[in-house]
Structure 1
């Protein structure tokens, strides 16, 4: 387990809070009927939801986690913390401009162009700046743990994703009318999604979990990272060649894209097999909430990736791709993220609040910070709602999707409340919070270092 004396990232909780806000915003829009299975996913109001999820929720969640756990993976501190808050503010402002730009496009406003240009400047600059800080830390400590190179693959894919996104925004703004660029943008949408979801978010999640999950399970480190790294780089390289091929040979680009989706199954299958071995070899026999809650996410990852390849090879209808993407984004990435937050938020809160008191007076157990029974129920409802929503998309049922989206939003909001209760120590016996005691702030870590040397678990 991470030592209690480890330095806490001051702004990680702020990133988590902003991420949860955008997740609830996206799900709230789905519940309100802003998008339905009968609508096109390329419509501006649908793109608002998509980017709330990908940039606002998943992107900020991963960056917040990396700010805390990159030093854990590398054994080295990050070169600077001065950019953490400005980059968060810039990311939120840039995403706000992007969402407003989509709204203006939907309204047919001439102001959409300048707003999209502003978004394509502020958002990439903010994300790339904090990304460079993280990448420099990962690079300096790349030999310390096998997780670092896996996350670096994700960071490289983030740069490609942002470059494509900026190009899309500039094209939509009308600043360029070059037919070649417009044609490339039209063909590059699948690559934008692939580098973002499969490259940046999945490899970053895999990399972080390579370090954290064995710690949480009290198991030995996972062993297959060299193969995952090699096949991951091969997959990313194949997608890059496929993307470049679409400029002059679109048919070749499509075939290479299909080949890249086949290659992506290699690192995913190896990761899941390695994870299964780690689960079996664990010394903590009873699974904690975060690990039990992640099992459905791993199952949905194992299902959605081959389903996508089969759909590509069989030229499936668009709604099937949307359904598979929904399973991947909400079932795998979001389910895994929410499950791990149920461990990470209480854990960091415990270190900040009770780490300095360990050995000086009785302290509560980590499990006491969160109501595991309630959180488990909300997670179950969340996963069932995601599966129901994906099925409704595949069947083209707007009514069924609407009901599933409401259940998904309600369960997510309940989980966010559970996290807030854990952060504010609402579940802890008042006697444990008697003086001398400094309660943690909701969105910042004021106590940068605990003074104990034990474990919170």
Structure 2
């Protein structure tokens, strides 16, 4: 995954922890009936769940991962600063204010306006600060690996998503009363969501996986980055044109459909590259993170294949919602959870046992995690996601809630597995004899690739 000696991001593990907590929080709300297929997704209660997932879970997960893996893509180190931890604090506080703001809107409180304004400002500043640091690094090292360009596309979409979100937040709070702005905001939600889910998180995930999956599989490098970058950029341009044409609904719909078609071409090319990488791998037995990602790739293919005709034919809202649910939880969340089952053990092994390598026996990476149990819970998660999406299509609140409870239980179980990994609970106590020191739980104690200092 990473060359030995590569510096560890000090705060990546804390980003991961915050992301998982927000995911579990959102799923608990779903399990408790905070949203169901009979409720409009534009309701404030639903927006609490949506933003806990998109900003809290997916956003923090991806930023945390990029803080560690952007240097791997570029061969450069992040600039020395406190932007990473300050960005995390700003994201957590800003998101907390945003969720509180939606709650206050739901209750009809006059305090909603100031709270939403503060949330918008804090989130925008935090996202842009972290984005600028990552974008600067990826731009400077863009020639080291072509996938850097894909991540740059994602970061550009993140900045646009944040700008849209800030405008939406202050408008929903009632701070902006211009009819034209309100009309624009009410019509631009699909473009805001598309920039965040298809632009930011998907392109960032594709870019990182272009580097990491061949390493995991011992396969050849994937080589269609230029095509993905071109089609992706054209798709984003069409999406921008659609957002700019909102006062002409027919033109906006055509641009949005064109953007969806270009995104579909990008995904087809990406999935073909993945197929060739899996087929040509030299590591015949798949590890948990690579086998556990296969259902995520399948759900990416299914959701994109369904989305384009659904948009073209003007499908009903609950059908679109089900497809988006499958995309968000099946593709993005499934891939994220599967890769965390590799990334967390690896970073923990580097911290705990890296300095001891060659001086005494060390555990295998696979010893840090119970792969069989984790694979079971990951499988349950995917089954629950499919069941929940099916319940949305059928309009069954009861079936959806049952599936949401199962999804929440599986997520909680996977979180427990990652806690056991980070605490080295699965490692034999004799392996942890002096001079071993337990690594810090939420952060890397230094940036030299281990937490223990010298092994002597």
Q: Judge same fold: TM > 0.5, yes or no.
A: yes
Instruction: Tell me what 1:98 maps to.
Output: 98
Residue segments in structure 2 that go unaligned for 5+ positions in a row: 452-456
Counterparts of 1:43 and 1:234, CA distance in 2: 32
Instruction: Tell me what 1:221 maps to.
Output: 221
Instruction: Give the secondary structure class of the aligned counterpart of 2:188.
Output: helix
The alpha carbon displacement at 1:451 in A equals 7.5
The alpha carbon displacement at 1:80 in A equals 2.8
Counterparts in 2 of 1:434-445, with a 5 A limit?
Answer: 434-445=433-444
Counterparts of 1:324 and 1:81, CA distance in 2: 40
Counterparts in 2 of 1:293-372, with a 5 A limit?
Answer: 293-372=292-371
Instruction: Tell me what 1:455 maps to.
Output: none
The alpha carbon displacement at 1:220 in A equals 1.5
**Cα contact 1:352–1:449 (8 A) shared by 2:** no
**Cα contact 2:352–2:450 (8 A) shared by 1:** no
Instruction: Tell me what 2:454 maps to.
Output: none
- Alignment of 1:416 onto 2:410: no
Measured on the aligned residues, the alpha-carbon RMSD in Å equals 1.0
Instruction: Give the secondary structure class of the aligned counterpart of 2:274.
Output: helix
Instruction: Tell me what 2:88 maps to.
Output: 88
CA shift digits 1:249-284 (9 cap, x unpaired): 222011110111111101101000001101111111
Moved more, 165-174 or 227-236: 165-174
Counterparts of 2:445 and 2:106, CA distance in 1: 43
**Cα contact 2:444–2:450 (8 A) shared by 1:** no
Query: TM-score, normalization: structure 2?
Result: 0.98
CA shift digits 1:275-301 (9 cap, x unpaired): 110111111110000000000000000
Counterparts of 1:76 and 1:367, CA distance in 2: 29
Instruction: Tell me what 1:189 maps to.
Output: 189
Counterparts in 2 of 1:32-431, with a 5 A limit?
Answer: 32-247=32-247, 249-431=248-430
Counterparts of 1:209 and 1:250, CA distance in 2: 36
Counterparts of 2:439 and 2:211, CA distance in 1: 26
CA shift digits 1:390-442 (9 cap, x unpaired): 00000000110111000000000000110110111100111110000111111
Counterparts of 1:108 and 1:209, CA distance in 2: 44
Counterparts of 1:424 and 1:244, CA distance in 2: 50
Moved more, 304-313 or 191-200: 304-313
Instruction: Tell me what 1:17 maps to.
Output: 17
The alpha carbon displacement at 1:450 in A equals 3.8
Instruction: Give the secondary structure class of the aligned counterpart of 2:177.
Output: coil
CA shift digits 1:182-238 (9 cap, x unpaired): 111111000000000000000000001001111111112101111001100000011
Distance change in 2, residues 1:201/1:451 (3 Å): closer
Counterparts of 1:99 and 1:436, CA distance in 2: 45
The alpha carbon displacement at 1:6 in A equals 1.0
Counterparts of 2:214 and 2:41, CA distance in 1: 38
The alpha carbon displacement at 1:30 in A equals 0.3
**Cα contact 1:294–1:339 (8 A) shared by 2:** yes
Counterparts of 2:182 and 2:304, CA distance in 1: 29
Moved more, 433-442 or 49-58: 433-442
Q: Kindly report structure 1 stretches of 4+ aligned residues shifted beyond 4 Å.
A: none
The alpha carbon displacement at 1:127 in A equals 1.1
Moved more, 319-328 or 173-182: 173-182
**Cα contact 1:79–1:136 (8 A) shared by 2:** no
Higher relative contact order (CA 8 A, sep 6+): 1
Counterparts of 2:450 and 2:399, CA distance in 1: 52
Instruction: Give the secondary structure class of the aligned counterpart of 1:349.
Output: helix
Query: TM-score, normalization: structure 1?
Result: 0.97
Counterparts of 1:49 and 1:234, CA distance in 2: 31
Count of residues in Structure 1 that have an aligned counterpart in Structure 2: 451
Counterparts of 1:175 and 1:250, CA distance in 2: 26
Instruction: Give the secondary structure class of the aligned counterpart of 1:151.
Output: helix
CA shift digits 1:163-199 (9 cap, x unpaired): 1101111111222211111111111000000000000
